[in-house]
């Protein structure tokens, strides 16, 4: 049952991303802005309409609309795709780092083991929310550098144009610089050429900003979630390296890399699979929590966390727009429960010491 629920959610969220992230001539909905992604396009005349089955009419759609008239069903699918993608990627990153780190500490032992595990202990003491905030500030500083360079370039062009064409005002210079090159006077094009040589243009699109934001979030979550995995793998490797088949491989001169891939890793597969299954809901929950606080996925890109944060103020004594909070939280809860049940089932099935096989 848990696996079936996950398959349905993955099909609705992940496989529909090319549709929900696509742009159309009218933004995907009546009244939407041209060229706008489907998840961000809406009809202001249909704002805060309940689902069609709850009396919202045809304009409400299956799950209703939000405060900007955007379809909540489309935003839940796009937000679910973002949350699941971040969760899966962060879990994969944490599994890879934790496996390599724990295996190195457990197999090499001695001083290497002490240094590696003390690093793990130090990272355990750092709150991951603080780490995410610091990384978010660093990524914002990088993006702001591009924005400030564009502003500096525009100011330099206006100042140079005022000197080259006496009698112009600041608004007139800005209007001339905003015109296409083929419609601009020769003096304006000369100023543009000098600006390009002096301050090369740096452009950062909205899509690039989203990629930087998601990468920062992925690194922050996956860069901390591997600590438990490293400890578990270290214990397993320390137990396995005392087995006769590992000692025989060492006796015949097998390299540590070959011993790991041929002898240790196959015996760690069950532990890795179980931990990965349990790490995915943890990563999704962390992403949703951070997005709920406003330091995770940034608007207009949705996630279940940002949708829940947007829907919370809609519950008020005056008029309760309950669907804006119910459906994102419901989808998030179903996903987390299904993943936890699946991980627990895999643990019981793969654990040879378990009585329930």
Residue 268 inside a domain? The answer is yes
Predicted confidence at residue 356, as pLDDT, reads: 44
User: Looking at residues 16-30, what average pLDDT do you find?
Assistant: 65
| Distance separating alpha carbons of residues 349 and 329, to the nearest angstrom | 30
Range from 202-206, 286-290, 291-295, 343-347 carrying the lowest mean pLDDT: 202-206
Statement to judge: residues 116 and 219 lie in one domain: yes
Give residue 357's pLDDT.
42
| Structural domain span for residue 76 | 2-139+206-350
Are 68 and 76 spatial neighbours (Cβ–Cβ below 8 Å)? no
| Distance of alpha carbon 48 from alpha carbon 61, whole angstroms | 11
348 or 342: whose pLDDT is higher? Answer: 342
Give yes or no for residue 115 having a pLDDT over 90: yes
Within this chain, do residues 127 and 12 fall inside the same structural domain, yes or no?
A: yes
Pair (305, 343) in one structural domain:
yes
Task: Supply the pLDDT for residue 124.
Answer: 83
Residue 330's pLDDT band, with cuts at 50, 70 and 90, is: very high
Final residue before a domain boundary, out of 160, 180, 198: 198
d(CA 140, CA 115): 33
pLDDT at 266: 84
| Residue 101 pLDDT | 92
Structure tokens given for 36: 């706008």
Average pLDDT over residues 88-108: 89
- Reference 340, options 286, 289, 279; nearest CA is 279
Instruction: Classify residue 322: in a domain, yes or no.
Output: yes
- Mean local confidence (pLDDT), 265-277: 84
Residue among 17, 62, 68 nearest 42 (CA) = 68
Alpha helices in 165-205 (DSSP H): 170-178, 186-198
pTM of the model: 0.74
For residue 47, being part of any structural domain is answered with: yes
In terms of average pLDDT, the best of 15-19, 197-201, 219-223, 347-351 is 15-19
DSSP three-state, residue 356? coil
Rg over alpha carbons for the chain, rounded to the nearest Å, is: 27
The reply to whether 19 falls in a domain is: yes
Q: Which residues contact 54 (CB under 8 A, 6 or more apart)?
A: 60, 64, 323
Is pLDDT larger for residue 148 or for residue 79?
79
Report the domain count for the chain: 2
Could you tell me if 216 and 73 lie in one domain? yes
Same domain? For 28 and 70 the reply is yes
Under 8 Å between Cβ of 183 and 133: no
Interval 200-218: pLDDT, tens: 655 556 677 777 778 888 8
Residues written for the chain: 357
Q: Taking a C-beta distance cutoff of 8 angstroms, is the pair 210, 143 a contact?
A: no
Instruction: Please give the pLDDT value at position 59.
Output: 65
Query: Does the residue 355 lie in any domain?
Result: no
119 with 186, same domain: the answer is no
- Phi first, then psi: give them for residue 90, nearest 5 degrees: -65, -40
**Is residue 211 one of the residues assigned to a domain?**
yes
């Amino acid at each position: 049952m848990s696996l079936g629920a996950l398959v349905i959610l993955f099909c609705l969220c992940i496989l529909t991303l090319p549709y929900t992230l696509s742009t159309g001539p009218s933004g995907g909905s009546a009244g939407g802005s041209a060229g706008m992604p489907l998840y961000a396009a809406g009809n202001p005349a249909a704002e805060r309409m309940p689902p069609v089955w709850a009396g919202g009419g045809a304009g409400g759609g299956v799950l209703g609309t939000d405060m900007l008239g955007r379809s909540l069903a489309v935003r839940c699918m796009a937000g679910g795709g973002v949350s699941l993608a971040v969760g899966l990627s962060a879990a994969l990153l944490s599994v890879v780092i934790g496996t390599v780190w724990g295996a190195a500490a457990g197999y090499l032992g001695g001083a290497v083991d002490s240094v590696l595990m003390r690093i793990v202990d130090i990272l355990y003491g750092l709150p991951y929310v603080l780490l995410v905030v610091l990384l978010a500030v660093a990524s914002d500083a990088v993006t702001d550098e591009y924005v400030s360079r564009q502003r500096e370039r525009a100011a330099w062009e206006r100042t140079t144009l005022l000197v080259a064409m006496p009698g112009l005002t600041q608004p007139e210079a800005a209007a001339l610089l905003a015109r296409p090159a083929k419609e601009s006077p020769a003096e304006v094009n000369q100023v543009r050429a000098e600006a390009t040589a002096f301050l090369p243009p740096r452009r950062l699109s909205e899509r690039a900003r989203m990629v930087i934001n998601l990468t920062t979030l992925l690194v922050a979550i996956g860069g901390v979630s591997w600590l438990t995995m490293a400890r578990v793998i270290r214990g397993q490797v320390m137990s396995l390296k005392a087995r006769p088949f590992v000692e025989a491989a060492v006796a015949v001169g097998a390299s540590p890399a070959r011993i790991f891939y041929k002898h240790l890793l196959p015996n760690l597969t069950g532990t890795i699979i179980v931990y990965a299954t349990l790490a995915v809901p943890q990563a999704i929950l962390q992403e949703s929590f951070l997005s709920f606080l406003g330091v995770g996925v940034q608007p207009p890109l949705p996630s279940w966390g940002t949708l829940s944060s947007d829907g919370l103020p809609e519950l008020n004594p005056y008029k309760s727009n309950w669907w804006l909070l119910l459906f994102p939280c419901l989808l998030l809860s179903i996903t987390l429960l299904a993943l936890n049940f699946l991980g627990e089932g895999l643990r019981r099935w793969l654990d040879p010491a378990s009585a329930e096989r």
